[in-house]
């Protein structure tokens, strides 16, 4: 097993008004790395489509020393770091052009039967592969607390472009909603430095979703709920630092 590695240059349309890489784009880069490396070891999209399987993210934990900036070149490295009965852990490291680590991340993925929408055993359904028992970020994806109060409430409509190839809301959209759900004055002066995300249920095209946010100091808690039936789609905890 070799680690996957790819270089990216940060483009204008991938940046926010402060020239920092958008969190949405960071999530998409991590997903791109996960897919391309999984494909290189025979476990990617093509394999899943043939078998009727799908990889579904259940958790992310990301620590950000700093976000890459406009026109900056970065190098992203990823590898499978652990395997459980129903889940696989994949880690990431993002380096700047000088070789400094600027982002570390760990993610947890469930293999599901796409038709039955149920988790299936990795060992019974995947070809044999080797993990690299090295963690970029030591985390066991702890259970995230629910917001106890609504300091801010936002509502979003699930758009066509929010839906991915698995026909539900893409993982990258949830931190976008959460970061949009804090006060804009707060956003003007703060940037995320740590994100924890627990994905719970699928979100679908055309649904209205509500984001309940509790902001205490430099930490925000978010619960993303479908208004049609009240099911919780995701829960997030974001730590912020001053710009």
pLDDT at 5 over 90: yes
| Distance from the first to the final alpha carbon of the chain | 39
Provide the pLDDT for residue 1: 81
| pTM metric for this prediction | 0.93
pLDDT at 18 over 80: yes
pLDDT in tens, 180-223: 999 999 999 999 999 999 999 999 999 999 999 999 999 999 99
- Asked if 235 and 144 touch (Cβ cutoff 8 Å), the reply is yes
| Domain limits, the chain | 4-125, 152-242
Beta bridge partners of 241: 191
Least confident of 25-29, 46-50, 87-91, 153-157: 46-50
Listed in sequence order, the residues at least 6 apart from 211 whose beta carbon sits closer than 8 Å to its beta carbon are 153, 154, 155, 156, 177, 178, 180, 181, 222, 223, 224, 225
- Residue 164, both tokens: 């991915």
pLDDT in tens, 133-150: 999 999 999 999 999 999
Residue 162 DSSP class: G
- Asked if 221 and 198 touch (Cβ cutoff 8 Å), the reply is no
Listed in sequence order, the residues at least 6 apart from 132 whose beta carbon sits closer than 8 Å to its beta carbon are 1, 3, 79, 80, 81
Q: For residue 211, which of 157, 160, 170, 159 has the smallest C-alpha distance?
A: 157
- Residue 225, both tokens: 């709920």
pLDDT at 46 over 90: no
Instruction: Put residue 117 in one of left, alpha, beta given phi > 0 → left and psi -120 to 50 → alpha.
Output: left
Tell which CATH classification among 3.10.129.10, 3.40.640.10, 3.40.190.150, 3.90.1150.10 matches the domain 152-242.
Answer: 3.10.129.10
pLDDT in tens, 159-177: 999 999 888 999 999 999 9
Provide the pLDDT for residue 69: 97
Q: For residue 191, which of 222, 156, 218 has the smallest C-alpha distance?
A: 218
Alpha helices per DSSP H over the chain: 23-40, 45-51, 122-125, 173-180, 184-189
Provide the pLDDT for residue 44: 81
Q: For residue 97, which of 69, 72, 61, 78 has the smallest C-alpha distance?
A: 72
The reply to whether 152-242 shares the fold of 4-125 is yes
Comparison of pLDDT for 41 and 74, the residue scoring more: 74
Superfamily of domain 4-125: Hotdog Thioesterase (3.10.129.10)
């Amino acid at each position: 097993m070799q680690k996957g590695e790819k270089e990216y240059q940060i483009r204008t349309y991938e940046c926010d008004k402060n020239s920092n890489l958008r969190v949405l784009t960071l999530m998409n880069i991590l997903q791109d790395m996960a897919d391309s490396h999984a494909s290189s070891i025979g476990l990617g999209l093509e394999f899943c489509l043939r078998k009727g399987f799908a990889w579904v993210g259940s958790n992310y934990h990301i620590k950000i020393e700093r976000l890459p900036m406009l026109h900056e070149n970065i190098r992203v490295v990823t590898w499978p770091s652990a395997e459980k009965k129903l889940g696989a852990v994949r880690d990431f490291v993002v380096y700047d052009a000088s070789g400094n680590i600027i982002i570390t991340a760990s993610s947890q993925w469930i293999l599901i039967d796409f038709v039955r929408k149920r988790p299936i055993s990795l060992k019974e359904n995947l070809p044999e592969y080797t993990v690299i028992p090295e963690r970029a970020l030591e985390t066991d994806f702890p259970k995230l607390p629910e917001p106890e109060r609504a300091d801010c409430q936002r509502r979003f409509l699930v758009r066509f472009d929010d839906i991915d190839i698995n026909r539900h809301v893409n993982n990258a959209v949830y931190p976008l909603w959460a970061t949009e759900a804090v006060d804009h004055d707060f956003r003007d002066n703060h940037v995320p430095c740590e994100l924890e995300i627990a994905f719970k249920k699928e979100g679908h095209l055309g649904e209205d979703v509500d984001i309940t946010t509790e902001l205490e100091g430099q930490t925000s808690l978010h619960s993303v709920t479908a208004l049609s039936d009240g099911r919780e789609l995701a829960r997030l905890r974001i730590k912020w630092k001053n710009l």
